Amino acid sequence: MVYIVHILQHYFNLAKSGERQRRVGFETESEEVIAMAAESSEGEDEAKLSGGNQLLIVDDDLTEMGKKAAWSVSSCKPGNGVSSLRDDNLETYWQSDGAQPHLVNIQFQKKVRLQLIVMYVDFKLDESYTPSKVSIRAGDGFHNLKEIKTVELVKPTGWVYLSLSGVDPRETFANTFMLQIAVLSNHLNGRDTHVRQIKVYGPRPNPIPHQPFQFTSREFITYSSIR
């Protein structure tokens, strides 16, 4: 009888040990899955762009909205102020003069739809002054800005396109009073930054109310309504 009890106790201990091993293995596997999910989530929050376009090309259904906004920067060197971002001259540039992050503030009098930011930066000319990480923020004003996305720039030379669309495919634009472009870091651990041009685009308004499509020819637009 004692012998049978010892045998049963032995098998019970083996079963218990196996259960413990399976549990440890499951917990280890779960931790790996959680770690992989965290890494995947981090990758989705941050985009990476390299290179750049030498020609500025945007869709016909977009219009430049920056001319309707008030522009300001967090700091600048004398002669390299905010106007250099909007003079359509790739030889000039805004140069910051202060601690990071370096900020470009774009404020509108009324809420507007914005879909795309295009920046001209030049690593070949500006080297350590070239932005390497940029944060795009939107809100009603300085008091409630929220980050839309963070973009890593890898030695960019030319026009760089930063979409304002969200993760949801239905979110094709940002509806906002204010945009802020924050340069978080520069290449080669540079302190101050150079940005040569910034354009901001939104959907082109439909000139004819209740019309489901939009004419692209000026002649069609001119004669499309009764005078």
Q: Is 75 part of any domain?
A: yes
> Is the same domain home to 105 and 8?
no
Report the percent of the chain where pLDDT is more than 70: 68
Residue 21's domain comprises 2-38
Residue 44 pLDDT > 60, yes or no?
Answer: no
Same domain as 32, residue 139: no
In a domain, 148, yes or no: yes
Pair 113, 161 in one domain: yes
Domain match, 7 and 68 both = no
Query: Residue 81: its pLDDT value, please?
Result: 98
Same domain, 100 and 124: yes
Q: Where are the beta strands (DSSP E) in the chain?
A: 46-50, 62-64, 69-73, 94-95, 102-114, 116-122, 131-139, 146-154, 157-163, 174-186, 194-195, 197-203
Give pLDDT, residue 206.
72
- Residue 215 domain-assigned (yes or no): no
Q: What is the pLDDT of residue 130?
A: 99
Full-model pTM: 0.71
**DSSP type of residue 176:** E
129 lies in some domain: yes
C-alpha closest to that of 85 among 105, 101, 100: 105
Determine, yes or no, domain membership for 210.
no
Contact 178, 141 (CB under 8 A): yes
DSSP 8-class letter at 211: -
Same domain, 186 and 153: yes
Angle subtended at Cα 45 by Cα 40 and Cα 48, rounded to the nearest 5 degrees: 95
pLDDT for 25: 45
**Residues in contact with 47: Cβ distance below 8 Å, sequence separation at least 6, in sequence order:** 149, 150, 151, 152
What is the per-residue pLDDT for 94?
99
121, two tokens = 């930066």
The pair phi, psi for residue 99, each rounded to 5°, is -80, 150
Specify the pLDDT at position 73: 99
**Structural domain count of the chain:** 2
d(CA 18, CA 13): 9
Residues 58 and 127 in one domain: yes
Same domain, yes or no, for 150 and 180? yes
Residues 112 and 170: their CA atoms lie apart, in Å, by 17
- pLDDT of residue 74 exceeding 50, the answer is yes
**Overall average pLDDT of the 105-125 stretch:** 98
